Structure 1
Amino acid sequence: MGPKREYNRKWWRNSSRRHFNNRHRSHISELPQASTTPSSSSNGNQSPSVPELPGFYYDPEKNRYFRLLPGHNNCNPLTREGILQKEMEQKRLQLLEEDKNRKAMWKRQLGVMPFQTYCRRVHELKVNCMQRKEVQIVNPEPGGSETHKFEFILADSSCQRLFAVSDMENGFCKYGLLNLNGLWRDVPTVESHDNPYFTNHKQDSPGCVSLIPACLFRNLAPDADDGQPVMLYNIKVSNVWSCVWCSNPRLDCNFSAGLRNQVLVMNTVTDVRRTFKTNSDVLAQQFATENLLLYNGCRSGEVFSIDMRVPALSSSNWKKGTSFFQNSAITCLRLLQDENYLLASDMSGQIKLWDMRMVKSVQQYEGHNNSYAYLPFHVKEDEGLLVAVGQDCYTRIWNMKDSRLLRTIPSPHPASKDTIPSVVFSSHLGGKRQMVPGLLMAVKKDLYHFRYNTNSV
């Protein structure tokens, strides 16, 4: 009877265990969907599809339940307190790792980089977030003249005003100044100040060099006489392709004009003239401010310098300084603050940075489009940016240091030969008080402002 009784006991225990497991599975299958979601008091490691059972712990790694015993049982490794402590420690280590990565990221982006690099990256971000707004052009004069098609715009040294040349559609060009004081408004506004006496006939404009005082434009000289203003300086010469004013105090009141096969340097006070014969038309010029050098870009693709300290015995008996060539006719020259570096663009679409000490090209900016047009480019060295408008009517912005193309801005109007935009780019448009950063674009009779989007930045 002893072995039989022992067998019956084992059979009863196994039967009871099978009955309990079957009842437990049926209970799980009958639970509603909402009950399968763990409550906020459940442990974080428990799977969302596995219910929480009182007195049991679910191990997601082993995919099974384990019975929990009271915490005072020191021999039991599975207690609720120990499981919670383990979860908290895992979360702490994870947060530490994330914090370490976050510090490393911020160090890479901000903390470790030099100040100039940091500022350059900020300006790159701002350039990519610029948004376009149309600018309203108003003339404060009663019955002011209508807006005409823009030929080009140029900002003064403080970026408070724009000098604008407009096409009057009758064979003449009109000069005017645009005041940028209202550029910061929700609807950007500029005031147009014209002078009807300052006009040039298009056919005669290549043979005329004029110095026009800005104070003689309307609404800018309240104490000026009502009579016809007198132009400060006007000289008639043949075939003028370029003109540049000298900012070097050792050549005060001097300017240079690029003519057909010659360079003309003139003092506007003494009227002393110096002429330098060349082998090609001079299309672009730039005076140095630290040295008495004049850089010239020719139709032949040559760029050369003239040392103004060396007296020329005659117009044909003089010696060139530094000289190098690009592939096509030079359209624009710009010296950097470190005047050992010169930027030059040509009619093959090349924009190159030259080291004048080695007479070597050290950087080239790809993407510019030009095959025949006389197109300038703009340098914002403090922001590390180079801006140029191509013959395809696209405005491109490069990183000056590594020549990366940061952004390409299409024209608001369909591209054509007559709708190539003229642009001005500055971080303080409107002057030091207004500080409205961005890009101004003149196309046809319209003016647009691409403003930095400070919310995105």
Structure 2
Amino acid sequence: MNKSRWQSRRRHGRRSHQQNPWFRLRDSEDRSDSRAAQPTHDSGHGDDESPSTSSGTAGTSSVPELPGFYFDPEKKRYFRLLPGHNNCNPLTKESIRQKEMESKRLRLLQEEDRRKKADTNSDRLFTVNDVKVGGSKYGIINLQSLKTPTLKVFMHENLYFTNRKVNSVCWASLNHLDSHILLCLMGLAETPGCATLLPASLFVNSHPAGIDRPGMLCSFRIPGAWSCAWSLNIQANNCFSTGLSRRVLLTNVVTGHRQSFGTNSDVLAQQFALMAPLLFNGCRSGEIFAIDLRCGNQGKGWKATRLFHDSAVTSVRILQDEQYLMASDMAGKIKLWDLRTTKRVRQYEGHVNEYAYLPLHVHEEEGILVAVGQDCYTRIWSLHDARLLRTIPSPYPASKADIPSVAFSSRLGGSRGAPGLLMAVGQDLYCYSYS
């Protein structure tokens, strides 16, 4: 596998140390977009304009619309739309929208070039890469003493597992914190799907200093898993869950004991609470429910909290006090729920999703929410008032096959590192960090 290439860009000029470059809106147009996305009282209401809305729309608002024609604000004339035309360079609504989106992406990238990137120290990141011949390759990236402009990224691959598609992945703490990686693998030919605990020690120099014990590698026959989560709750010690079609499976790694909980829909997202004995699940039906780990799987007493979205839930995140839950769905809605009253507290506008499995990244220490939309824009909101703080365009042209993957850290590169965002697109790795 080719090593990921670290892309670093620099900008010059002074800025106030009191204002964080993460949250500086780019220009007057973006400020108006962000204000439109900011609700007045309840952030779940109010009009907003998606950051991906093209500037050309505003330019044609004063020009009368003619059915079957498109007004070009640059040439100041009408052109006929040709739906389904087979000639070269047909003028269609889709091509017009694609051109406007690409124009805006390039403009935002020019502004990103003027942003300075900070240094980091050391960290590690688990990665999954699709390969063209089918299946996946995965490894752990060590970010060793990243200093601008001599940035070094080392990919440590485990070549034993290279032919299975990964449906879901999370860190697992069996021997120590993050000692293993839990993978849900799809079936291949006559081989059924499974959940595998992969020791991080299999990756060269990836385990923490001073911990040299061999890790336990084990696999569980669990076909068709959509999601997985590892438990750090004392009520489910050494356990992990998998979300399947119409059921949740809770497995104890040490004893092999399993509990199955029937549901009415596929379980696409999961997370264990740390203090309360609860496992939260998000379903394709839009339902979010909690399983009380103290109850058995008989009857219905195990189903605790219930919340509802209008579309399939793709991500659930429990906040640290475990009184609030963040969830996103395939309608592009991101909502903050109060688990005590089971009512929506806040809604974060601007996210774009129609059918993709897209995660949420909640960082309470920095007070931000990060999500990548299906339009390939990475958006950062204020966790407290739902304001859209920043929109980062993809370094690649927008494509369904190249939706960026991001990871945020309050101390990127280790305990002395600065907060930063890593973005992976294709074979490239980008860093957006505090200055």
Q: 1:232 aligns with which of 180, 196, 217?
A: 217
- The amino acid across from 2:256 in the alignment is D
**How far off its partner does 1:218 sit?**
2.5
Indicate how the Cα distance of structure 1 residues 399 and 123 shifts in structure 2: closer, same or farther if over 3 A, else same. farther
Query: Partners of 1:223 and 1:190 in 2: how far apart?
Result: 22
Residue by residue, what CA displacement relative to the aligned partner does 1:62-106 show, whole Å, maximum 9, x if unpaired?
xxxxxxxxxxxxxxxxxxxxxxxxxxxxxxxxxxxxxxxxxxxxx
Q: 1:193 aligns with which of 156, 159, 162?
A: 156
Q: 2:186 aligns with which of 205, 209, 222?
A: 205
Query: Partners of 1:224 and 1:391 in 2: how far apart?
Result: 40
1:142 is matched with none
Which runs of structure 2 are paired with 1:289-308 in the superposition (5 Å)? 289-308=274-293
1:366 is matched with 349
Higher relative contact order (CA 8 A, sep 6+): 2
Indicate how the Cα distance of structure 1 residues 311 and 261 shifts in structure 2: closer, same or farther if over 3 A, else same. same
Aligned residues: 308
**How far off its partner does 1:220 sit?**
3.8
- The amino acid across from 1:169 in the alignment is K
Report the 3-state secondary structure (helix = DSSP H, G, I; strand = E; otherwise coil) of the residue aligned with 1:331.
strand
**How far off its partner does 1:451 sit?**
2.2
Query: Partners of 1:306 and 1:159 in 2: how far apart?
Result: 37
Contact 1:280 1:299 in 2 (8 A): yes
1:184 is matched with 147
Residue by residue, what CA displacement relative to the aligned partner does 1:25-79 show, whole Å, maximum 9, x if unpaired?
xxxxxxxxxxxxxxxxxxxxxxxxxxxxxxxxxxxxxxxxxxxxxxxxxxxxxxx
**How far off its partner does 1:331 sit?**
0.3
Q: Normalising by structure 2, what TM-score?
A: 0.65
Contact 1:184 1:436 in 2 (8 A): no
2:253 is matched with 268
- The amino acid across from 2:186 in the alignment is S
Q: Answer with 1 or 2: which has the greater Rg.
A: 1
- The amino acid across from 2:274 in the alignment is T
Which runs of structure 2 are paired with 1:294-443 in the superposition (5 Å)? 294-313=279-298, 318-433=301-416, 435-443=417-425
- Percentage identity across aligned positions? 54
**How far off its partner does 1:167 sit?**
1.7
Report the 3-state secondary structure (helix = DSSP H, G, I; strand = E; otherwise coil) of the residue aligned with 1:344.
strand
Q: Normalising by structure 1, what TM-score?
A: 0.62
- The amino acid across from 2:322 in the alignment is E
Query: Partners of 2:132 and 2:267 in 1: how far apart?
Result: 29
Contact 1:385 1:399 in 2 (8 A): yes
2:432 is matched with 450
Query: Partners of 1:127 and 1:242 in 2: how far apart?
Result: 35
**How far off its partner does 1:188 sit?**
2.4
Residue 173 (str. 1) matches residue 158 (str. 2)? no
Report the 3-state secondary structure (helix = DSSP H, G, I; strand = E; otherwise coil) of the residue aligned with 2:249.
strand
Residue by residue, what CA displacement relative to the aligned partner does 1:358-401 show, whole Å, maximum 9, x if unpaired?
00000000000000000001011011100000000000000011
- The amino acid across from 1:217 in the alignment is F
* Unaligned runs of at least 5 residues, structure 2: 1-16, 27-110, 167-184, 188-192
Contact 1:371 1:391 in 2 (8 A): yes
Residue by residue, what CA displacement relative to the aligned partner does 1:13-34 show, whole Å, maximum 9, x if unpaired?
xxxxxxxxxxxxxxxxxxxxxx
Kindly indicate which of the two structures has a greater share of residues assigned to helix. Answer: 1
- The amino acid across from 1:199 in the alignment is T
Contact 1:180 1:429 in 2 (8 A): no
**How far off its partner does 1:210 sit?**
1.1
Indicate how the Cα distance of structure 1 residues 244 and 133 shifts in structure 2: closer, same or farther if over 3 A, else same. farther
Contact 2:333 2:347 in 1 (8 A): yes
Residue by residue, what CA displacement relative to the aligned partner does 1:123-150 show, whole Å, maximum 9, x if unpaired?
8547979766899xxxxxxxxxxxxxxx
**How far off its partner does 1:318 sit?**
4.8
Query: Partners of 2:306 and 2:211 in 1: how far apart?
Result: 47
- The amino acid across from 1:260 in the alignment is S
Indicate how the Cα distance of structure 1 residues 133 and 177 shifts in structure 2: closer, same or farther if over 3 A, else same. farther
Which runs of structure 2 are paired with 1:52-91 in the superposition (5 Å)? none
Contact 1:133 1:188 in 2 (8 A): no
**How far off its partner does 1:184 sit?**
3.2
Query: Partners of 1:292 and 1:303 in 2: how far apart?
Result: 16
Indicate how the Cα distance of structure 1 residues 180 and 382 shifts in structure 2: closer, same or farther if over 3 A, else same. same
Contact 2:124 2:140 in 1 (8 A): yes
Residue 279 (str. 1) matches residue 264 (str. 2)? yes
- The amino acid across from 1:269 in the alignment is V
**How far off its partner does 1:333 sit?**
0.3
Report the 3-state secondary structure (helix = DSSP H, G, I; strand = E; otherwise coil) of the residue aligned with 1:250.
helix
1:216 is matched with 202
Contact 1:183 1:436 in 2 (8 A): no
- Answer with 179-188 or 209-218: which moved more: 179-188
Indicate how the Cα distance of structure 1 residues 451 and 127 shifts in structure 2: closer, same or farther if over 3 A, else same. farther
Report the 3-state secondary structure (helix = DSSP H, G, I; strand = E; otherwise coil) of the residue aligned with 2:411.
strand
Report the 3-state secondary structure (helix = DSSP H, G, I; strand = E; otherwise coil) of the residue aligned with 2:195.
strand
Query: Partners of 1:124 and 1:168 in 2: how far apart?
Result: 33
Query: Partners of 1:418 and 1:209 in 2: how far apart?
Result: 25
Query: Partners of 2:122 and 2:303 in 1: how far apart?
Result: 35
Query: Partners of 1:181 and 1:350 in 2: how far apart?
Result: 37
**How far off its partner does 1:224 sit?**
12
Query: Partners of 2:147 and 2:401 in 1: how far apart?
Result: 29
- Taking only aligned residues, the RMSD between alpha carbons, in angstroms, comes to 3.0
Query: Partners of 1:187 and 1:408 in 2: how far apart?
Result: 27
Indicate how the Cα distance of structure 1 residues 242 and 390 shifts in structure 2: closer, same or farther if over 3 A, else same. same
Contact 1:370 1:390 in 2 (8 A): yes
**How far off its partner does 1:236 sit?**
2.0
